[in-house]
Chain A
Amino acid sequence: MKSPALIFFSAFLVNNIILMRFLGLCPFFGVSTAIETASGMGMAVIFVMTLAAWITWIIFHVILLPLDLVFLRTATFILTIASLVQLVEMFLKKSYRTLYNAMGIYLPLITTNCAILGITFLSIDNKFNLLNATVFAIGTGLGFTVVIITFAAIRERLDLAPINPALKGYPISFIVASLLSLAFLGFSGLFGLT
Chain B
Amino acid sequence: MNKWQIFTRGLVKENAVLILMIGLCPALATSGTVRDGFGMGLAATFVLLFSNIIISIMRKRIPHEVRIPIFILIISTFVTIIDYFMQAYQPDLYRALGVFVPLIVVNCMILGRAEAYASKNSVINSALDGLGVGLGFTLTLTVIGAIREMLGSGTLLGVAVFGEAFKQSPVIFMILPPGAFLVIGVLKALINKYVK
A interface list, Cβ under 8 A from B: 19-26, 29, 71-75, 78-79, 82, 112-114, 117-118, 121-122, 125, 165-175, 177-179, 181-182, 185
Assuming A78-B76, A174-B185, A177-B181, what are 5 further A-B pairs, CB within 8 angstroms? Answer: A22-B25, A72-B80, A78-B105, A170-B185, A174-B184
Count of B interface residues, CB-CB < 8 Å: 40
Decide yes or no whether B124 CB sits under 8 A from chain A. Answer: no
Top 10 A-B pairs, shortest CB-CB distance: A174-B185, A178-B181, A171-B189, A22-B29, A166-B193, A75-B76, A181-B178, A178-B182, A182-B178, A175-B185
Known: A170-B21, A171-B192. A75 touches B80 (CB 8 A): yes
Give the CA-CA distance A151 to B106 in the complex, in Å.
24
Give the CA-CA distance A24 to B108 in the complex, in Å.
11
Nearest-CB residue, chain A, relative to B104: A74
Chain A residues closer than 8 Å to B79, beta-carbon distance: 74
Give the CA-CA distance A125 to B42 in the complex, in Å.
24
Partner of B99, one of A72, A118, A168: A118
Chain B residues closer than 8 Å to A71, beta-carbon distance: 80, 84
B177 touches A170 (CB 8 A): no
A-B residue pairs in contact (CB < 8 Å), sample of 24: A22-B26, A25-B24, A29-B24, A73-B102, A75-B80, A79-B69, A114-B25, A114-B103, A114-B106, A117-B103, A118-B99, A122-B99, A125-B99, A166-B189, A172-B185, A174-B184, A174-B185, A174-B188, A175-B181, A175-B186, A177-B185, A178-B179, A181-B177, A182-B178
